[in-house]
C-alpha cells in the first residue's frame, strides 16, 4: 500500500461532500507531476484529504477504490482521475502550521512542493501524521 495526500479547496469540494457522496472521482487535476502521482495510485492506497486555501489542514482519510482512468472533465484525453472513498475523519485535524513547525516533516512533499494537489507521503510521514491527528491506521 502506498500513501498520498490530496488537496481540495473546501469551498469547491469539502470533506463533508466526500463523506456524503461516498465514492467520488478525483477529477480536475491539471498539473503534470500531480497527474503522474494520480497515475501511480493503486486500489487500496490511502490518502490524507487536505483542505487547501481555507483551513489548510488534514481533515480525513480516503482509500483509492479505482485506479487511474481518463478524467471525464478534461477537454483532452491527457488527464486522469482516480475514485476515492471516505474512510473517516481525522480525529484532530493536522494544520499546515503544525506540519511546518515539526522538523520531522521538513521533507514532506506538502511542505517542499506546496503547489502540487496530489503528493506522495512516505510510510514514516504517514505514521507520524496519523499519530499527530489521533488516527489509528
pLDDT 10s digits, 73-98 = 999 889 999 999 999 999 999 999 99
Helix (H, G, I), strand (E, B) or coil at 84: strand
Given a cut of 90, whether residue 52 has pLDDT beyond it is yes
Choose between 76 and 117: higher pLDDT: 117
Choose between 114 and 59: higher pLDDT: 59
Please tell me the predicted confidence (pLDDT) of residue 77.
84
Please tell me the predicted confidence (pLDDT) of residue 76.
87
Q: What is the CATH number of domain 1-131?
A: 3.10.590.10
For residues 19 and 75, the answer to whether their CB atoms sit within 8 Å is no
Please tell me the predicted confidence (pLDDT) of residue 137.
67
What CA–CA distance (Å, rounded) separates 137 from 123? 11
C-alpha cell at 132: 499527530
Q: Which residue, among 52, 25, 43, has the nearest Cα to 113 in the 3D structure?
A: 52
Q: What's the predicted TM-score (pTM) here?
A: 0.96
- Mean pLDDT on 106-127: 95
What CA–CA distance (Å, rounded) separates 7 from 119? 9
The whole-chain average pLDDT of the chain stands at 96
Amino acid at each position: 500500500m502506498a500513501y498520498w495526500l490530496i488537496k481540495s479547496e473546501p469551498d469547491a469540494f469539502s470533506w463533508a461532500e466526500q463523506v456524503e457522496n461516498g465514492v467520488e472521482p478525483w477529477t480536475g487535476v491539471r498539473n503534470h507531476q500531480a497527474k503522474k502521482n494520480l497515475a501511480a495510485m493503486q486500489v487500496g492506497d490511502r490518502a490524507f484529504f487536505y483542505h487547501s486555501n481555507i483551513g489548510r489542514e488534514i481533515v480525513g482519510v480516503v482509500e483509492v477504490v479505482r485506479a487511474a482512468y481518463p478524467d471525464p472533465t478534461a477537454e483532452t484525453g491527457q488527464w486522469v482521475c482516480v475514485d476515492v472513498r471516505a474512510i473517516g475523519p481525522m480525529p484532530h485535524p493536522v494544520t499546515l502550521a503544525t506540519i511546518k513547525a515539526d522538523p520531522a516533516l521538513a521533507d514532506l512533499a506538502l511542505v517542499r512542493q506546496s503547489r502540487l494537489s496530489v503528493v506522495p507521503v512516505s510510510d514514516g510521514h504517514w505514521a507520524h501524521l496519523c499519530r499527530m491527528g489521533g488516527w489509528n491506521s
